[in-house]
Amino acid sequence: MSAVDTDRGPVARAAAEAGDLIAFCWYTLRALVRAVAARTLSWREILQQFWFTASVTTLPSVLVMLPFGVAVALNVGSLAAQIGAEAYGGAVVAFLIIGQAGPMVCALMIAGVGGSAITADLGSRKIREETDALEVMGISPVERLVVPRVLAATVVSVLLCAVVMVVGIGASLLFHVYVVDGTAGSFLATMTQFASVWDFVSAELKAAVFGLLSALIAGYKGLTVRGGPQGVGDAVNEAVVLAFIAVFVANTVISQLFALLVPARGEY
Spatial CA neighbour of 147 closest among 20, 267, 39, 42: 42
Average pLDDT value for the chain: 84
pLDDT tens-digit profile of 106-146? 888 999 999 999 999 999 999 988 888 988 888 889 999 99
Q: How confident is the model at residue 1 (pLDDT cuts 50, 70, 90)?
A: very low
Higher pLDDT, 169 or 182: 169
Model confidence band, residue 268 (pLDDT cutoffs 50, 70, 90): very low
pTM equals 0.87
Report the alpha-carbon angle 149-132-47, nearest 5: 20
Residue 32 contacts residue 150 (beta carbons within 8 Å) = yes
pLDDT score of 10 more than 90: no
- Under the banding of pLDDT at 50, 70 and 90, the label for residue 89 is low
Q: Which residue has the higher pLDDT, 187 or 4?
A: 187
Query: What span, in angstroms and rounded, lies between the C-alpha atoms of 215 and 46?
Result: 13
For residue 84, name the pLDDT band (cuts at 50, 70, 90).
Answer: low
Q: Which residue has the higher pLDDT, 84 or 145?
A: 145
Can you tell me the mean pLDDT for 217-225? 93
Residue 206 has pLDDT above 90, yes or no: yes
